[in-house]
Amino acid sequence: MLNNYSKEDKVLLAVDCIIFGFDGQDLKILLIKRDFEPEKGKWSLIGGFLKKEENLDESATRILNHLTGLHDIYMEQFYVFSKVDRDPAERTISVAYYALIDIATSEKELIQLNSAKWFSLEEAPKLIFDHNKMVKHAVRRLKYRTKTKPIGFELLPDKFTMLQLQNLYESVLNKKLDKRNFTNKINALDILIKLEEKDMESSKKGSFLYQFDLDKYNEKLKEGFVFKI
């Protein structure tokens, strides 16, 4: 016979998503203005509640798709926030995910809600509840992952210059990188395809465009390859 759970406390399980984007210069975060109480009209992360028929990844996928209209978004669950009084409305535990979106190539798909807006991390407003704490945790995880996995390419367009790639890493890591050393490290990884095309907006001579070679990266992983920047 199954145990009787009727006497156990019931709590809400929320899924909150920290959505990062890159505009070529700055790492940004997508926020919305909350349209219900408590904290109506204040800036918030994108989130929702787990439904009975969902697992956590399915819930996060649904929430991200509803806001952005995008599919196959890179996301990762990174922390659980369970402080008793974190939500004044109801006892709520939140499972947090971060997601990566290329701002430039997602503009056509992104659902332009009046309350949604991209902010650079330095200019982001104060958020409701413990959402600022969630963002800090997400940034730390993103910095670590960017050094150990090629997830940064999720924030770039399909074709990009070496300068755009360096700008991305500098933005995520929040530090300047030596151009020659960075280029040498990236080339040594041997996971990029150099194209014949050039970006003519960057200079008179133009800059060669590159693509991330996912197939080659996966093959190298089988051989024990370690991604490290």
37 and 137, same domain (yes or no): yes
Provide the number of structural domains found in the chain. Answer: 2
62-118 residue pLDDT tens? 999 888 888 889 999 999 999 999 999 999 999 999 999 988 766 656 655 557 889
CA angle 150, 95, 23 (to 5 degrees): 40
- Whether 143 and 162 map to the same domain: the answer is no
Nearby residues of 222 by Cβ (< 8 Å), 6 or more positions away: none
| Residue range of the domain that includes 188 | 158-222
Asked if residue 120 and residue 74 are part of one domain, the reply reads yes
Average pLDDT taken over every residue of the chain: 92
Residues 65 and 116 in one domain: yes
Measuring CA to CA, which residue among 83, 209, 228, 220 is closest to residue 156?
209
Segment 59-63 shows an average pLDDT of 96
The answer to whether residue 21 sits within a structural domain is: yes
- pLDDT tens digits for range 134-143: 999 999 999 9
Q: Is 41 among the domain residues?
A: yes
Q: What is the pLDDT of residue 69?
A: 82
Residue 184 pLDDT greater than 60, yes or no: yes
